[in-house]
Amino acid sequence: MLISGSVQDDEREFIHKGISTKAFRKEFRLNEDTVVGDADFVDGILKVSLTKVIPEEKKPVLVKIN
Handedness of CA 59, 57, 38, 5 (dihedral sign): positive
pLDDT score of 9 more than 90: no
Q: Nearest CA to 5 among 50, 41, 43, 51?
A: 41
pLDDT for 18 equals: 72
List the chain domain ranges. Answer: 2-58
Q: Each residue of 35-46: pLDDT tens digit?
A: 999 999 888 788
Q: What is the mean pLDDT of the chain?
A: 86
Q: Does 29 score more than 90 pLDDT?
A: yes
Give the per-residue pLDDT at 17. Answer: 72
